[in-house]
Structure 1
Amino acid sequence: MPPVTKTFRRAVLLATTLTTVVMQTAEAKPSGSNSEPTNTGLFSGTVVVKPELHGKHPRLFVSETGLQSAINRCRTDEPWRKHYFRPDGIELKTIPRPIKLSDRDLPCAVLAKLALSYALHDDPAYAERFQEWLPLLRDAAPAKIRGIGGDAADLFCGQMLTSLAISYDLLKSRVPPDAEKILYTSLVTQARQTYADLIALRRYPYEQNHFTIPVCGLLLASLALLDEEPEASAWAVWASNALRRCLEVLSPDGWFFESMDYWGYTMQFPVPAAYALWHTTGENLLEAPTLKNSPLYLAHNYLPVRNFVFDFADWGPRVHPDGRTAQNGYDHPWHTNPTKIPIFIPALLNRVSPDPLLDAFLEGRRSTDTRLDGIISSLLQLPVTHTNKQPSASPNPPASPASPALPTPYHYFNDMEVIHWRENWHDTRATAIAYKSGPPGGHAMTSLLRQYPDWKPSLGHAHPDAGSFILFSKGVFLANDTGYAVKETAWHNSILVNGTGQMKGGTAWQTFKNIPYKKLNRIRMENVWLGRRIIAGTADFAAAYDDSLGLTEMRRDLVMVGGRYLVISDAMGASSPNEYEWRLHSDQAAVEDGPERFVMTNGTGRLAIRNLHPVASKNVAPTIVETELYELATRSRPQQRGHHLALKSPRTARATFLVAMNIQSSDENAQKFHAQEIFPGKTELTDEAGSCTVWTGNSAELRGSFAYVLRDAQGTVISAGLHGSELNASGISITQKDKPGAVALDLDSGSGAWSIENMTTHANRPIFEIDGQRQTIVMFKP
């Protein structure tokens, strides 16, 4: 064991002074409210083992009864055993060697899996291979964390502690005394070092996976050691409080700012750590809002085509620091890499708090045998292939009499300011869109920064993408993002000003560094309207740009009706003339199809585009992103990721863009799509299927934010809606002066009457007239 450092002595003294720890066979108590405004709150509270687990192992995820059940399953269920314990698994294939910091996945993938196999499986090969690793563990010095990020020692420490905690918890009293001593000493030594390193930092990026992961490892270690190692009590209090803050600072609406890829990578640590805390003590951090709302995040961010997602932020394979290699899939054609998360994460959340959206998400998905997915899934005997109790459910099922009712297929994540909409849950060809305009860490972050002045956010994986959107339909991307690369607004479906994007573009992970969050918090979404046929919202994102540009206005109205007709209206203003550039990214290049017309065809889907306002120039070009992240000053690794359409305004103090789009199958006739601006704020779109009139902003006919009228191919009005108080147009009017709000009306072709959506938000039914005839409004839609 290395000598005790001065830093460690100070850490122990501070922890002893500030922490009251009770270790006794009593009921579990929560570890404090964490209301203290500084990191002294991290040392306050108590952590108490459940009476029935006091002095016993295993305890983290299962008790002895649960372990014996898993052992019996392994002996009697051959298909289950063959899935989780393969003779050619990485845990047996990996030859024992000294473990380096760069081997950060090895502890869980190999050591913890070997320990699990030793405990559950009767094949002596696992015990023999595990024993071969023990001298290397005995001789290894504890890894040290000198800062968060950098050499990734933080991630290594988190995974090593997780591995050692699981191994010790499962094998205590099941291995020879000398082996148990090595596990115990290695676990205590690494936990002591990591605790001293973390508390010495004094300021923490609570939202960053590089901090969360070592915190979770320390928590698991302390829970495994609580009634054996005196110091473990202080570690448990600090780590449980720190984990609570890590979860608290993530957006309470559940939308994860780092990307779906990073959600899967990060949450494989806090979810099992919180589960172990709950199982061992009864304290339930799984009730944190960001986790409670994760079913909504998963359901809406996964696309109608299985294993593909809205690829916001740092999604996809990235380069390695060596300047030559990259993660698997980096060289694949863009948007061909699936997104697969460790399935035990949603399965574990669903076990604690069942949710129909998680049932639907898990349906048909398979656990793997590797890393924590294989360890937790086999230990808790999660299914190899998840099957809903209701056999009618599918990966994206509709609500049916045989299955629990699912929420509507649209949702507003109001802290992160992201609107999601799709036509339905079950059709792989359904249109789905996500529209984003909020501060990079969410609005709640503003008050939490005041509450926790020791919080030093990095937000390194967030992108400068306010006002952007992603569109998916007919099984393909029609407007998309560009993945893990240097952060640039130019690589998103948003707007540039004088060729400049939002915040500090051109960096790998420093986009929002030293930007006052009060400024970022002014980025927002307004006038949100969601319904069966409608998605609309106003992005207000002038605050996303540098103050030197002198912007006074940057607003985008986006309206999509019926998953087919899309209108985007932008208004920009500044104290001096600027050039504004509108960008739309796609997998395939758009082709000019007439004056101010473009068509982008991507496999089975097509986007017909009509530019309706004068521009100084328009251009279609390959999108070349910079993927070098580590040595930007001396290296470059450009890569093409699709194409983009760029529209540029004249240099002027005020400018507007108006673009209408038609979402089609590739076998439809793009020439049948037409669009025109009738007058400012009113746009007419027509195609083979019918027509749609869209109103945006207060205008000659609209008092409110939005309105629409949808007609079929014969010209019959089949749906109409209003977000405001009155629409008074030629041949049609909707009035709800008593209580302005959002209302949508759909025609029942059989009865000729109209049903109303979201009527619960209205005190009275609106007055709806077509050609001067008042329409009958009947039963409310649920």
Structure 2
Amino acid sequence: MIRSAAALLLISVWLLRSGSPFFCFVESNSQPTMNFLQKICCLAAPVVLLSACSTDEPHFNYPEPEPTDRIWHPMLFFNYWEGEQLKTAISSTLLTQWTRFKAVADDKVRRNPPAYKDDEGEQLWQRDVGNTISTLAVAGYLTGDTDYFEAAERWALAACDYPTWGMDGTSDGSEYGLPYGHQLLGLAMLYDYGQNFLDEATLTTLRQTMISRVERQYAAYKEYEKAYIQNHTWINTCGMLAAALVLRNDTPKAQEWIDYTQEILDKTSRLLSPDGASQEGPGYWQYGMEFLMMAFDLSHDVGNDFYKNSTWWENTAAYGRFMTLPADHCTTESSLVDWADSPRYSWYGPEHLYRRLAGLNHHALTQYAADQARRYDVSSSWLNLIWYDDSVSSVLLPTTPTFRHFENMGLVASRTDWSGDESLLVFRSGAPLGRFAEQQPEGSYVSGDMGHIHPDANHFIIYANGEYILRNNGYVKRVTKYHNTLLVNGLGQWGEVRTWFTPWPLTPSRDAKIVEAVSEAGVDRITGDASACYLDDAGVERFVRKLIWIKEQNVVIVCDDVELAASGRIELRFFPEHALSAVSGAAVAGATTARNSIRMENLTPAVSAMSLGEEFIEERSSSAGEKRPMVTISAEAASLHQVTAFSWAALPAVAPVVTYDAASATVTVDGRTYAL
């Protein structure tokens, strides 16, 4: 029709200009009549053309620009135009991500929100309520399907009716807590995306609830001692910011709340560990990172780019990758090294986290990590739709480093390769919050930043052939005795005085440190000095541990150098994943598991004794727990120079035997000799 109209216009002009016989019925001397016809053609032709364009071509009613003093919905994570692009992309470039996400959203449509439970504590069950609202709001906006919005409304109104969103509070009765972050984010997203789908009564309820709950949280946070590098702060700040942004049309207080979140996020952005590692462990790294990146992204809307303030963002994807189990053995139930307060499974993602970091840094290896995570990440977050940048390739190069020293946090992670079935070793010996924290002005950090740290200097784990050889005991009470490290007279390191890491403020002179971390010719050498970490009554003057990992032999040699102020009980503790039994004499223990032949040998039996037993591991918040296998090497002495060997082999092979020559300080494995 456009072409026809254009042709009609051209023909009309030609006829008028050429004096065509079409106008023969007009007398040649009737110039006024001809002028009249020319005017009619000039006026009518454009009308015909525009009419043709509008009847035959798709027509879209784009929104009129809003006044500059009002916000334009949607505005959280994408604007109107970006939203239209997303609607197209979910059937093309984002089809894979959309298909997986839609399955999650469809499952949530069929569920109902839980009834309010008047329980004490954090009421963490409410986190799923907020997460569900977010998921359904995104699905509804991108499809226009009212089923999603009806379900989101059902969950949101339930959340609005809950009298509390967690029982954490301040002295004046103000509330805060993790559910606030989740609930406020969910309600804000539904309010933002549902403007044309929800009735005015629902929008009013959402608006009033957000205003009243942000006021509560804001009052609490103004009094509360904020921990700027801890997940609680990031999660709650993100929720507060999202709600404040969408409420800018509705309350003059919104700008005050926005300014407050920007102050918090600016401080956070400058206090993050430069090496990308997290003192809270990989589980809380996932949880906190999701909300921190959302908060940073939302801050772009008010003109702030906090990503540029720290090298954390360049390095933190490597932390996630190195604290992830070999790819072939990652499952929904087991994918992480459960360091610090971390489970063995992924709490959040991690696919979408790697997607954002890949796009942020234009990093192909991080995109590859996201692709690997997709195999076991069943959560399939809506953030995969927002954060996936298909311009970043996905590549694992043969030269990808297998050894990483996170120098600030005092953490070394190493593996044999990135084949997916590799062996893995992780060692920790560093300042509780990292050395960078000690260089900042007093008051930059608070004891709340220590909430998930364990007193575990010189602790390490080994993972091989799909299972742990030596384990971490995970999210349990924070005491030294539950780690693969030293006790003296039953006493451990600073920080185990109570559940919260103490004492505070920290004393740098008490820090552990890594004094050697090298990987050469297939042998890793890692040395940690934890001499200053122990409680004064333990009388520890020196505790230096050196690991030598001979990768091609599947052997780790542990050299422990302990000196005390006076003779006492020196006890080196090791927690194998599977119980070991005596093999030959009192110096060798081993096990045959479903995957491995494992051997542990005391190479210096003349100065120490090895015993096999169990330790009752208490849960974090109760006296409940379970017994787990433990091996101790001990001595009653003022000093101990101990050498211990761990070796393994995938079945049906047998773990190699290690011999030790004290005079030359060497070990021999399968005829090859290695210096210690």
Is the alpha carbon distance of 1:123 and 1:590 closer, same or farther for their aligned partners in structure 2, counting shifts above 3 Å?
same
> Which among 513, 530, 547 is matched to residue 502 of structure 2?
513
1:694 shift after superposition: 1.5
Contact 2:539 2:564 survives alignment (8 Å): yes
Is the alpha carbon distance of 1:669 and 1:116 closer, same or farther for their aligned partners in structure 2, counting shifts above 3 Å?
closer
Matched residues in 1 for 2:257 and 2:550: separation? 54
Matched residues in 2 for 1:589 and 1:134: separation? 49
Contact 1:494 1:582 survives alignment (8 Å): yes
Is the alpha carbon distance of 1:584 and 1:369 closer, same or farther for their aligned partners in structure 2, counting shifts above 3 Å?
closer
Letter in 2 for 1:526: V
Is the alpha carbon distance of 1:575 and 1:410 closer, same or farther for their aligned partners in structure 2, counting shifts above 3 Å?
same
**Structure 2 residue aligned with 1:715:** none
1:370 shift after superposition: 8.7
1:437 shift after superposition: 0.4
1:161 shift after superposition: 1.5
Matched residues in 1 for 2:426 and 2:589: separation? 22
Contact 1:573 1:654 survives alignment (8 Å): yes
* Residue aligned with 1:493, SS: coil
Alignment pair present for 1:694 and 2:675: yes
* Residue aligned with 1:579, SS: strand
> Which among 606, 610, 624 is matched to residue 618 of structure 1?
610
Matched residues in 2 for 1:462 and 1:207: separation? 12
Unaligned runs of 5+ in 2: 1-65
> Which among 349, 358, 363 is matched to residue 355 of structure 1?
363
* Residue aligned with 2:189, SS: helix
Give the number of equivalent residue pairs.
595
> Which among 662, 666, 670 is matched to residue 683 of structure 1?
666
**Structure 1 residue aligned with 2:558:** 568
Q: Equivalent pairs: percent with the same residue?
A: 20
> Which among 657, 664, 679 is matched to residue 642 of structure 2?
657
Letter in 1 for 2:414: W
**Structure 2 residue aligned with 1:310:** 337
* Residue aligned with 1:71, SS: helix
Matched residues in 2 for 1:369 and 1:574: separation? 48
Alignment pair present for 1:58 and 2:58: no
1:124 shift after superposition: 2.9
Is the alpha carbon distance of 1:259 and 1:563 closer, same or farther for their aligned partners in structure 2, counting shifts above 3 Å?
farther
1:300 shift after superposition: 1.0
Matched residues in 1 for 2:450 and 2:346: separation? 25
Is the alpha carbon distance of 1:102 and 1:179 closer, same or farther for their aligned partners in structure 2, counting shifts above 3 Å?
same
TM-score (norm 1): 0.69
Alignment pair present for 1:558 and 2:566: no
Contact 1:440 1:520 survives alignment (8 Å): no
Matched residues in 1 for 2:164 and 2:375: separation? 32
1:343 shift after superposition: 2.1
Is the alpha carbon distance of 1:291 and 1:147 closer, same or farther for their aligned partners in structure 2, counting shifts above 3 Å?
farther
* Residue aligned with 1:435, SS: strand
Contact 2:108 2:136 survives alignment (8 Å): no
> Which among 415, 438, 456 is matched to residue 430 of structure 2?
438
Alignment pair present for 1:209 and 2:231: yes
Contact 1:478 1:602 survives alignment (8 Å): no
Matched residues in 2 for 1:168 and 1:367: separation? 33
1:296 shift after superposition: 1.0
Cα deviation, 1:222-265, whole Å, max 9, x if unaligned, reads 23334653222221222122123334434221111222222222
More strand by share: 1
1:523-542 to 2 correspondence within 5 Å?
523-542=512-531
Cα deviation, 1:704-735, whole Å, max 9, x if unaligned, reads xxxxxxxxxxxxxxxxxxxxxxxxxxxxxxxx
Cα deviation, 1:148-198, whole Å, max 9, x if unaligned, reads 9x9994101111211122222222355333333332222222222211210
1:193-232 to 2 correspondence within 5 Å?
193-201=216-224, 203-226=225-248, 228-232=250-254
Is the alpha carbon distance of 1:65 and 1:665 closer, same or farther for their aligned partners in structure 2, counting shifts above 3 Å?
same
Is the alpha carbon distance of 1:136 and 1:621 closer, same or farther for their aligned partners in structure 2, counting shifts above 3 Å?
closer
Is the alpha carbon distance of 1:398 and 1:206 closer, same or farther for their aligned partners in structure 2, counting shifts above 3 Å?
same
> Which among 474, 481, 485 is matched to residue 483 of structure 1?
474
* Residue aligned with 1:570, SS: strand
Cα deviation, 1:287-309, whole Å, max 9, x if unaligned, reads 53333311110121112244233
Matched residues in 1 for 2:114 and 2:449: separation? 36
1:278 shift after superposition: 2.5
1:611 shift after superposition: 1.4
> Which among 186, 203, 206 is matched to residue 163 of structure 1?
186
* Residue aligned with 1:374, SS: coil
**Structure 1 residue aligned with 2:48:** none
**Structure 2 residue aligned with 1:376:** 383
> Which among 263, 278, 286 is matched to residue 264 of structure 1?
286
> Which among 457, 475, 486 is matched to residue 495 of structure 1?
486
**Structure 2 residue aligned with 1:421:** 414
1:445-464 to 2 correspondence within 5 Å?
445-448=437-440, 450-452=441-443, 455-464=446-455
**Structure 2 residue aligned with 1:67:** 83
Letter in 1 for 2:434: G
Unaligned runs of 5+ in 1: 1-49, 317-334, 400-405, 696-782
Alignment pair present for 1:238 and 2:238: no
Letter in 2 for 1:560: W
1:418 shift after superposition: 1.0
Letter in 1 for 2:469: L
Q: Which moved more, 1:129-138 or 1:340-349?
A: 129-138
Matched residues in 1 for 2:524 and 2:371: separation? 28
Contact 1:251 1:442 survives alignment (8 Å): yes
Matched residues in 1 for 2:254 and 2:174: separation? 27
> Which among 657, 672, 676 is matched to residue 673 of structure 1?
657
Q: Which has the larger radius of gyration?
A: 2
Is the alpha carbon distance of 1:560 and 1:127 closer, same or farther for their aligned partners in structure 2, counting shifts above 3 Å?
closer
Matched residues in 1 for 2:368 and 2:97: separation? 22
> Which among 648, 656, 665 is matched to residue 634 of structure 2?
648
Contact 1:342 1:367 survives alignment (8 Å): no
Contact 1:550 1:574 survives alignment (8 Å): yes
Is the alpha carbon distance of 1:532 and 1:473 closer, same or farther for their aligned partners in structure 2, counting shifts above 3 Å?
farther
1:659 shift after superposition: 1.4
Matched residues in 1 for 2:152 and 2:98: separation? 19
1:574 shift after superposition: 1.9
**Structure 2 residue aligned with 1:186:** 209
More helix by share: 2
Letter in 1 for 2:559: S
